[in-house]
Each structure stands twice: as C-alpha cells, then as structure tokens.
Amino acid sequence: MNRFILLMCLMTAAWTVNNSAYVGATQTPKQDKSPATQAKRLDFIKRLQASKFIGDVQPPRNGIVRAFVTPSFMAGDYKDKANVVSVIYLYYFDGTKSTDLVILLDSKSGNEVGTYGLTRGLKMK
C-alpha cells in the first residue's frame, strides 16, 4: 500500500472513530449535524477529492447520493473504503431512514461498484 493510501486510511479511521460512526453497522447513533461538524465533514470530503481519492459526489436525490470513486479508493481495503463512505453518508444523511443510500460509481467507467446504507453497511461488487 503506498504512503498516500495509508495516510488517507489513517485520517479516515481517526475521523470516523472521533465522530461515532459505526462502520457497516445496522444502527447508527444520533448524529452530530451541527454546522461545525458538517463543515469538518465537507472539508474532509473536499480534501479527498483534491487528492484524487474520490471524485464527484452528487447531492441526494430521492435518498440516494452518488459518489464517484477512483482507482486509489478501490485499492484500499474494506475497512478503509467503509470509513471513507461513512463520512460521505454522515454528511448527507442523519441515519434516521434505512432507505438512504450512497451508491459508489467507478470514476472511469461510471459503473456501479458498491453501495453503503444504514442497514446494509458497505457492499462492494
């Protein structure tokens, strides 16, 4: 694993632990949706985008966020991927609807490569 991916994984793990997200959990505790926490989540997502770890993240439509993931993201292990996607999920959703979903799309082909939801956790294809 190259240093960049390792650094991103460590940052993501620390972020997720500090914000009480359960990776792949079937229940999410009440989430901190304060403006300060949301700003930190957005900054984190933008840094991932700037470093080409993830691509475009489209705001929710009918309870679905579409996030484009890069080869760097795909090279990470399951926990690293779940941690990154959990931050995206927590930025857009509050964990109260089991139908809210983040769909992961390959940044090159546009094909679906995975999903993340409250009750199902991260499922990669």
Q: Give me the residue label for tokens 């901190």.
A: 32
What is the token pair recorded at 19? 């914000």
The pairing of strands 101-106 and 64-69 is parallel
**CA 80 and chain centroid, separation:** 10
pTM of the model: 0.79
pLDDT digits 0-9 by tens, 75-87: 999 998 999 999 9
Residue spans of alpha helices (H) in the chain: 3-18, 35-50, 71-75, 78-92
List, as one string, the DSSP characters of 81-108: HHHHHHHHHHHH--S--TT-EEEEEETT
pLDDT digits 0-9 by tens, 29-61: 568 899 999 999 999 999 999 999 999 999 999
Q: What mean pLDDT is reported for the chain?
A: 84
